[in-house]
A and B are shown apart, each in its own frame.
Chain A
Amino acid sequence: MIARSLKWSRHNLFAKPFDILLSLTVIPGVLWLIWQIAGWALTVAQWDIIPQSLRVLMIGIFPVDQVWRTWVAAMIIAALLGAALGCVFAFRGRHAGGLLLVVAVALILTGTNDLANILLVAALVVLFGLSWALISRVPAVRKGLVPASFVGLIAIFAVMAPPGAGLWGGLLLSILLTLVTAVVTLPIGILLAFGRRSRFSSVRWICTAYIEVMRSVPLIMVVYWIWILMPVLTPQLNLADVVRGMIGFTLFYSAYVAEYVRSGLQAVPRGQTEAARSLGMSEFDINRSIVLPQALRVVVPPLVGNVLDIFNTAPLVFIIGLTDFLRAGQMILANPQYGDRTYEVYSFLFLTYFLVGSLITFVARKLEKHLARGSR
């Protein structure tokens, strides 16, 4: 064992003079950094601020007596995410262990010690696992997933709306924004991608123009424009800031989804369309049943990456006055009483973003391997 690790380090760390130099400077540097951070985290930092302000971080300024609504929303989100995962990944026994680990990390990280909350978090994860297992074991249910996710999103809106959409915030808002954008951009993106290949030049030009315009301007620009335009265009609707933000994100990211889908469509061999045509199938049937399923299979990994992009750009909604996860952290620090806890709060934010982000990339990478292996 020791001999092997010695051999490994000689091959990988100390093979050439330059390697030795690099290893001798970088390794101690990294170790020193870890030592410093760990020392601060374990001795200096006052982590009690995280459990104390956890509610604000998670749901912003949502009224305390209405918190059950956010739990219901979280349950629906967990069920939908589990179902989405089940479509591409079979649930196995060992995955249950992974989920337990997630619960443990979440509880430790947030310092939750209240029994009710522990049970609720556990229920969330169990629901996630159940719907994952159900969808992966019973493929017949999958057909209902797209309608179910739209119904789920509407249900979330319905249950969260009564106290006022202006009160949505925190991590829940970030996740909701990501989820709504990811779900709604998919059909729009698919339509745009097909539109860009349409035989009718007018459709082709409109779709191309839309995609190119959206891809040429910054996200904040689009979000801000929609925010100031919506009240002018639909004065009677009086749309909440949250909804306007979601519309902006959706319009922007639809263009990106369209480009991913288009690359998938191009990857489907011409022979597939020709074979389907020679069987007398209509162009609509060919696109829906032959071309699109094969195209989507190719672009699932980049589309998952796109979801991560959406999640990581969600903090930009502060520009239209929304309180997402990052902004919620800053709000806590605005309280003079907590002025000296800057590093604690930002560390927590960093770690949470990092964990969610790496979870998504992990799933994307697994998916890529999984889809590359199975040609079915």
Chain B
Amino acid sequence: MSTIVEMKTLNKFYGSHHVLKNIDLSVARGEVVVVIGASGSGKSTLIRCVNGLEMYQNGSLLVDGYPMPVEEDRLLGGESELAAIRKGVGMVFQQFNLFPHKTVVENITIAPMRVHRKSKAEAEATALRLLDRVGLKAHAHKYPGQLSGGQQQRVAIARSLAMEPHLMLFDEPTSALDPEMIGEVLDVMRELAADGMTMMIVTHEMGFAREVADRIVYIDQGAILEVGKPDAFFDNPQNERARAFLARVLKH
């Protein structure tokens, strides 16, 4: 299997605060990697580095065959790889971040039309097919404000898929949802995983993580402490802090 993401001794600082410490992690094509850890452990920052929403200061990061430039190079204008990487990497956010002034269909078609120069008809056909896939075809011409949180998040997933990404990043996709809506979003993600999409997921849904992940990455205070198969990780974590963390979150 070829590698799609490769991080080598990646370090990130906010000023003097060391947020990510010597991260070594690679993700194979077709793999589903779930990143778990306590709030503030740096897991969101980690996956936001992958599509360049966060900059890192040293180490190396290879995404989809392109080297992601370090902060110094980006500030000096070396960002040509960034656009290429982003075309191939989709991202779903905690707060959905749909464009409120555009209809559902316009949300999905704008990037394919602007970035891939697709015709309107072609982009709309793709959009409707994707909306059908996430079960929202009937809502195509509504505005995001008229949809529930779960529906908005499914639109956000469809919007990312419209760019035909090679890798999908999910940053706590269900954390802002009411409990009864979490299931519908996780179902869509399950189907994506079953179709062979490469995914990096940050989530607090442990049951879902165990079911869908190929590998679990446990991160604490900016460092990866344990990487393992889901069953091995959840049943018998090796790391002391991972054990304590699981005891805390699985108690409920």
- Whether the Cβ atoms of A280 and B87 lie closer than 8 Å is yes
Q: A275-B97, A278-B51 are in contact. Are A375 and B143 (CB under 8 A)?
A: yes
A281 to B159, CA, bound (A): 13
B198 within 8 A of A: no
- Whether the Cβ atoms of B110 and A278 lie closer than 8 Å is no
B160 within 8 A of A: yes
Flag A67-110 by CB within 8 Å of B: 1 or 0 each. Answer: 00000000000000000000000000000000000000000000
A277 to B52, CA, bound (A): 9
- Whether the Cβ atoms of B99 and A272 lie closer than 8 Å is yes
Q: Which residues from B are CB-within-8-Å of A279?
A: 86, 90, 110-111, 115, 159-160, 163
A29 within 8 A of B: no
- Whether the Cβ atoms of A278 and B90 lie closer than 8 Å is yes
Could you tell me how many residues of chain B have their Cβ less than 8 Å away from some Cβ of chain A? 27
A265 to B169, CA, bound (A): 27
- Whether the Cβ atoms of A274 and B111 lie closer than 8 Å is no
- Whether the Cβ atoms of A278 and B143 lie closer than 8 Å is no
Q: Which residues from A are CB-within-8-Å of B114?
A: 281-282, 285, 289
Q: Which of A269, A276, A282 has the most CB of B within 10 A?
A: A276
Flag B80-105 by CB within 8 Å of A: 1 or 0 each. Answer: 00010011011101010111110000
Main secondary structure of the interface of B (DSSP, over half): mixed
Q: Give the shortest distance, in Å, between A349 (CB) and chain B (any CB).
A: 42
Q: Which residues from A are CB-within-8-Å of B87?
A: 280
A271 within 8 A of B: yes
Q: A375-B143, A375-B145, A376-B145 are in contact. Are A281 and B97 (CB under 8 A)?
A: no
B53 within 8 A of A: yes
**Which A residues have a C-beta under 8 Å from some C-beta of B?**
269, 271-272, 274-282, 285, 289-290, 293-294, 297, 375-376
**28 A-B pairs (CB sep. < 8 Å):** A271-B95, A272-B99, A275-B97, A275-B99, A275-B156, A276-B99, A277-B51, A277-B53, A278-B86, A278-B89, A278-B91, A278-B160, A279-B111, A279-B160, A279-B163, A280-B87, A280-B111, A281-B114, A289-B110, A289-B114, A290-B99, A294-B99, A294-B100, A297-B101, A375-B100, A376-B101, A376-B143, A376-B145
